[in-house]
A and B are shown apart, each in its own frame.
Chain A
Amino acid sequence: MQDDEIVAIYRATIRPLYAYVSRRVGGDRAMAEDLVQDTWMRALDAWPRRGRPDEPLAWLLRVARNTMISHFRRIRPESVDPQTIDLEAPGPLPDEPDVAATVSWGLARLRRRHAELIEAFYFDGKSVREIATERSMTEKAVEGRLRRARAVLKKKLAKLVRPAGTPARAIKERTIHERHS
């Protein structure tokens, strides 16, 4: 594999890769940069041994996603009360690192098919119609799956809720919608 070929792939993919990661960490620049760099170092380890993948961007996104899942399985976010996150919101989540960390913590504990659907809707800002077209499903089926995925996510996030009476260091009382407006 030629060196300049890798650099060309880097130039073609760095922006979509960064945007993908950044949306999932709520725009936390330091974390996004670390994750993107980590992803590229993994690529440089893997590609010379296994050969360049047919779809480098898809490969990079998948590795970045796995790295994020691994990261969010290790941490326990505490700065946002998950009860204040409005998962019934009709659009994407606002770009707030604390909110993204809390939701990503829950997503890292969901089945992949549920997590990917929620990510597409809340992080990538895709509409139900777009998701349905991409996955060759009906809009109704996507809505149904989203509903079930949300329910599972809420259950997972409930585990993050502090017991009553515990001092809340930085619980944010406003809902996401209030913050958005």
Chain B
Amino acid sequence: MNGIHEPRESFVRALEARVSTEISHRAAASRLPRWVPQSRGRLAFATALLILVSMAAGGAAVSAAYQAQSAEGRDLLVRTYQQRLDLARMRLELASKLSKSLQERAQIGAASMQEMQDAVLRTRQAEWEVQSLQLQLDEVRLTGVEPAMQVSAPLVSGRDFVSQRWQLEMEAQRAALETEQLRLTTEQRRFAAGMSTNADLERVRVQVKELETALSASGRKLDIRRKFLNRTMDAGLADLRVLEVDAEQRVETLTARIDLSRKELEGIKVRVSVGQAHSLDMAEAEVRLQQTEFELSKAQYDLALIKRQIEQRGR
């Protein structure tokens, strides 16, 4: 027999150990009656231990997991994602508690509606993080490798993990947009009452605009994914189209930021002329504007390159 079709001894031993462990785990699970309640204390202790171990293993485990290709690597990768999921669940629990406490304080007037909205948003974002990590763990369990993020990733056992993750991302963006729109309304009221400046209002407007752009980009990427899965767009073109969407989003975001930076600079110039601000503040604002302009030029160059590649494919 050709040697390359012989399994490695280390693999044979590792899989045998895994088979034996699985057998004992399954046997133990079948012996435990389902109605027996889990001990909360032991569960909490196990969770705390798991987190401590995960923190201790830290970067080493993660970086090793990235290299995991073999069967042994799969186990390591699954464990790493399981630990991340456990940590995300803890963050969710904490965010829920904070949100509840803020709601109680808001009811007695000790916290503002905006603070409460922010806390609710943070809780929802923590929920999406848990859901997203659960999806990644499911994918790692099925494939044994890092979750595929690119638009041209194939389905895994009939499941479209890429679209599911993007849909979750869209939900998070939608919720963030709703919160920012509420903040904008509040800021407009404050501005009308002379309680905030035009610059504050502009900053929130830019934030809303950025979230709208991100949401629209996510929708377009989902559409490209659908076309790829329906085979109306090939993998190479789908990847390029997603890069194009990302680059366009970046150009739009940076353009809005430049407008904001210019307005801020003008405001600082006025304040410097009447002695309300230092010339150093003006220099800082100018540098910020130039940096953003440079980033925009780079993003425009990237976009032009991607568009040229798309055109070349079409020829």
A29 to B24, CA, bound (A): 28
A65 to B124, CA, bound (A): 43
Interface window among A33-41, A110-118, A145-153: A33-41
Question: What 1/0 flags go to B15-31 for Cβ under 8 Å of A?
Answer: 11011101110110010
Shortest distance in angstroms between B86's beta carbon and chain A's nearest beta carbon? Answer: 22
Q: Are B235 and A18 in contact (CB under 8 A)?
A: no
Q: How large is the interface on A (under 10, 10 to 19, 20 to 34, 35 or more residues)?
A: 20 to 34
Q: Are A30 and B156 in contact (CB under 8 A)?
A: no
Q: Are A27 and B4 in contact (CB under 8 A)?
A: yes
Shortest distance in angstroms between A130's beta carbon and chain B's nearest beta carbon? Answer: 16
A139 to B2, CA, bound (A): 26
Total residues of chain B contacting the partner, CB 8 A: 32
Instruction: Enumerate chain B residues within 8 angstroms of A75, measured Cβ to Cβ.
Output: 154
A95 to B235, CA, bound (A): 27
A76 to B30, CA, bound (A): 41
Name the interface residues of B2-20: CB closer than 8 Å to any CB of A.
2, 4-8, 11-12, 15-16, 18-20
In the complex, A6 has a CB within 8 A of chain B? yes
In the complex, A74 has a CB within 8 A of chain B? yes
Q: Are A27 and B5 in contact (CB under 8 A)?
A: yes
In the complex, B46 has a CB within 8 A of chain A? no
A95 to B6, CA, bound (A): 13
Q: Are B7 and A36 in contact (CB under 8 A)?
A: yes
* Given A15-B6, A75-B154: 10 more A-B contacts, CB < 8 Å: A3-B23, A11-B16, A15-B12, A27-B5, A32-B7, A33-B15, A36-B15, A41-B22, A44-B19, A95-B5
Closest 6 CB pairs of A and B: A74-B154, A27-B4, A18-B7, A22-B5, A33-B71, A30-B69
